[in-house]
């Protein structure tokens, strides 16, 4: 293990992984994507990086993540969950411990926020959305951070209602299956999927149907008693 | 929300929550306990706190947690898992972000480590084990950290083989039930518990039996293919 001999104490930074399901065009399947910011200075000048920045000494961790996310991408999320603290000695030329937060944003939320910034003429620069499954070489250890976030997302989708964060309040089983397929990165058998989901007891069928070019499909809701965020006793900010 | 105006950047510390099942005497039920260290200087002079200390700039986070755990309690764990980063503005007079690690130690591992230090004459001072369910007022936000660790432990015990960390490689169903009862803080019906565990597919019965003052009880093993730690792609240190 390489040990640096930096005499400087570690500095604290925050970074944010925002996942959303987006389509490049209407006929393409939705892909799990995330916004990245192109660095304009060293280290890693010109490479893409997660939104983030330094922690202000008088600022709560989650506030710092929200602020730097807004400053760099113009995006906001109603709730950021702490993902992990990355503090490897060699992840940056200086010693930096990054507290990484994450959130899921619905595509329509993203579109509305992007449109609002465009209307105000303050669209952020140097931001692009990338397919989470095929990223370029990112700055620092950010490829590894995204890989860890994807693993956590895939683990959680199996036992929690986390997919809800990517769906409107009412959705069809085909829409729910598309979310799972995007997260898991593979096709699911529609009949098996329907059976498993209906047997899980976490969904409520509604009396409403999605109509359009296909035959009408029943709309479902999640059981609101199932907790979305796994915060436990952490009700305040930490 | 109170905002301090400290001009000093945040410093990074590490703390460790070690859970073990221990008995105060042979006839008492095992209790979920953790080691605490009495502070001998301000802030919070005289109060009990989690083992921990400052991150050295050239030291990996997990190494810092292992080192400070050993320095303050004489204990070591084969693996420390990152629990959460606590960074509230008001948790300490100075701004401190604490990366908290945790581990489960079997009672016989603890006993062996304590005995080895006693034999070498370097038993740590100011360390005591406390019942996790009835702690005094601790230093900093450490009551809140332990409460969060207990919540995570109770959440995980339901869907993972985390209880294994508190058991020898082979154990009776009564011993396994005692672990669950200690973690969940309530009695479980023996017949229901046996049915659920045998139906879970995560345990293997062995051909061996525990004999002693009671009637012989079959010994079980966990399925080794079930991953103990939820590290995902984090194979190296971070």
Instruction: Give the pLDDT band (50/70/90) at residue B195.
Output: confident
Note the pLDDT of residue A96: 97
ipTM reported for the complex surpasses 0.90: no
Best of A89, A140, A146, A237 to substitute, by most chain B Cβ atoms within 10 angstroms, is A89
Is pLDDT of A5 > 60? no
Question: Does the residue A236 lie in any domain?
Answer: no
CB A86 within 8 A of CB A98: yes
Stronger pLDDT, A50 or B79, i.e. the higher one: A50
Tokens in use for B125?
């001072």
Instruction: Give the pLDDT band (50/70/90) at residue B237.
Output: very low
Rg (CA), chain A: 19
Note the pLDDT of residue B238: 38
Closest CA of chain B from A6, distance in Å: 6
Q: pLDDT tens-digit profile of A189-223?
A: 999 998 888 877 778 889 999 888 778 899 998 87
Is pLDDT of A104 > 80? yes
In a shared domain, residues B47 and B93: yes
C-alpha A54/C-alpha A65 separation (Å) is: 9
Question: Does the residue A232 lie in any domain?
Answer: no
Question: Does the residue B238 lie in any domain?
Answer: no
Question: Does the residue A125 lie in any domain?
Answer: yes
Instruction: Give the pLDDT band (50/70/90) at residue B196.
Output: confident
Residues of A in contact with B92 (CB under 8 A): none
Furthest-apart CA atoms within chain A: distance in Å: 67
Residue B35 backbone dihedrals phi, psi, to 5 degrees: -85, 135
Is pLDDT of A56 > 50? yes
Closest CA to A181 of A163, A196, A197: A163
Q: pLDDT tens-digit profile of A160-197?
A: 666 777 888 889 999 888 888 888 888 899 999 988 88
Question: Does the residue B151 lie in any domain?
Answer: yes
Q: What percent of chain B has pLDDT over 90?
A: 55
Positions of E strands within chain B = 11-22, 31-38, 48-49, 52-54, 81-86, 96-104, 127-131, 203-210, 217-222
C-alpha B227/C-alpha B234 separation (Å) is: 13
Strand partners, A99: A14, A85
Tokens in use for B200?
């879970």
C-alpha B13/C-alpha B99 separation (Å) is: 6
- Domain final residue pick, A107, A139, A157: A157
Could you count the other beta carbons within 10 Å of the beta carbon of residue A148?
22
Instruction: Give the pLDDT band (50/70/90) at residue A158.
Output: low
In a shared domain, residues B83 and B173: no
In a shared domain, residues B91 and B191: no
Supply angle C-alpha A124, A63, A72, rounded to 5. Answer: 15
Instruction: Give the pLDDT band (50/70/90) at residue B145.
Output: very high
Q: What percent of chain A has pLDDT over 90?
A: 55
The residue length of chain B stands at 238
Residues of A in contact with B142 (CB under 8 A): none
- Domain final residue pick, A102, A131, A157: A157
- Domain final residue pick, A157, A176, A207: A157
Strand partners, A40: none
Stronger pLDDT, B200 or A82, i.e. the higher one: A82
In a shared domain, residues B208 and B167: yes
Closest CA to B96 of B2, B19, B4: B4
Tokens 């035959």: give the residue: A215
Residues of B in contact with A55 (CB under 8 A): 9-10, 87, 97
Mean pLDDT (whole number) for A58-78: 96
Residue A131 CA, chain-centre distance (Å), reads 12
Give me the CATH number covering residue B73.
3.90.79.10
Residues of A in contact with B12 (CB under 8 A): 9-10, 12, 87, 97
- Residue A212, sorted as left (phi over 0), alpha (psi -120 to 50) or beta, turns out to be left
For chain B, what percentages of helix, strand and coil (3-state, to nearest 5) are there? 30, 25, 45
Residue B37 CA, chain-centre distance (Å), reads 14
Closest CA to A34 of A183, A155, A181: A183
Is pLDDT of B173 > 60? yes
Is pLDDT of A68 > 90? yes
In a shared domain, residues A211 and A173: yes
In a shared domain, residues A31 and A53: yes
Is pLDDT of B235 > 90? no
CB A74 within 8 A of CB A112: no
Q: pLDDT tens-digit profile of B107-137?
A: 888 999 999 999 999 889 899 999 998 999 9
In a shared domain, residues A136 and A168: no
Note the pLDDT of residue A3: 47
Cα–Cα distances (Å) from B134 to B28, B49, B129, B141, in that order, read: 16, 14, 11, 16
In a shared domain, residues A66 and A95: yes
Q: Show the domain range for B203.
A: 162-233
Mean pLDDT (whole number) for A125-152: 94
C-alpha B62/C-alpha B231 separation (Å) is: 13
Is pLDDT of B156 > 80? no
Give me the CATH number covering residue B184.
1.10.10.10
C-alpha A80/C-alpha A18 separation (Å) is: 9
In a shared domain, residues B30 and B136: yes
In a shared domain, residues B14 and B110: yes
Mean pLDDT (whole number) for B175-194: 88
H or E segment to which residue B156 belongs: helix B142-157
Is pLDDT of B199 > 90? no
Residue B188's contacts (CB-CB under 8 Å, 6 or more residues apart) are B177, B180, B181
Q: How many CB pairs under 8 A join A and B?
A: 121
Question: Does the residue A27 lie in any domain?
Answer: yes
Total number of domains in chain B: 2
In a shared domain, residues A27 and A53: yes
Average pLDDT of chain B to the nearest whole number: 86
Instruction: Give the pLDDT band (50/70/90) at residue A134.
Output: very high
Q: What percent of chain A has pLDDT over 70?
A: 88
Note the pLDDT of residue B23: 80
Note the pLDDT of residue B30: 80
Q: Which residues of chain A approach chain B closer than 8 Å at the C-beta?
A: 1, 3-12, 55, 57-61, 82, 84-89, 95, 97, 99, 144, 147-148, 151-152, 155, 159, 230, 232-234, 236-238
- Residue A129, sorted as left (phi over 0), alpha (psi -120 to 50) or beta, turns out to be beta
C-alpha B183/C-alpha B154 separation (Å) is: 6
Is pLDDT of B1 > 60? no
Question: Does the residue A234 lie in any domain?
Answer: no
Question: Does the residue A70 lie in any domain?
Answer: yes
In a shared domain, residues A65 and A167: no
C-alpha B24/C-alpha B36 separation (Å) is: 16
């Amino acid at each position: 293990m390489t040990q640096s001999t930096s005499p400087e104490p570690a500095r604290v930074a925050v970074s944010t992984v925002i996942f959303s399901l987006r389509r490049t065009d209407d006929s393409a399947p939705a892909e799990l994507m995330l916004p990245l910011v192109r660095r304009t200075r060293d280290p890693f000048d010109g490479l893409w990086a997660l939104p983030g920045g330094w922690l202000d000494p008088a600022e709560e961790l989650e506030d710092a993540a929200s602020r730097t996310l807004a400053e760099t991408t113009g995006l906001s999320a109603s709730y950021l969950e702490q993902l992990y603290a990355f503090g490897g000695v060699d992840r940056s030329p200086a010693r930096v411990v990054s507290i990484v937060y994450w959130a899921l944003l619905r595509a329509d939320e993203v579109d509305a926020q992007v449109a609002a910034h465009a209307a105000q003429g303050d669209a952020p620069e140097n931001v692009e959305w990338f397919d989470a499954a095929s990223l370029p070489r990112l700055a620092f250890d950010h490829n590894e951070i995204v890989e860890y976030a994807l693993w956590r997302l895939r683990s959680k989708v199996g036992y929690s209602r986390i997919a809800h964060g990517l769906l409107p309040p009412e959705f069809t089983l085909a829409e729910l299956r598309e979310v799972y397929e995007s997260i898991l990165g593979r096709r699911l058998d529609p009949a098996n999927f329907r059976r498993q989901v209906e047997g899980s007891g976490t969904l409520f069928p509604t009396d409403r149907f999605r109509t359009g070019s296909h035959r009408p499909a029943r709309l479902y809701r999640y059981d609101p008693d199932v907790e979305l965020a796994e915060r436990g006793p952490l009700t305040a900010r930490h």
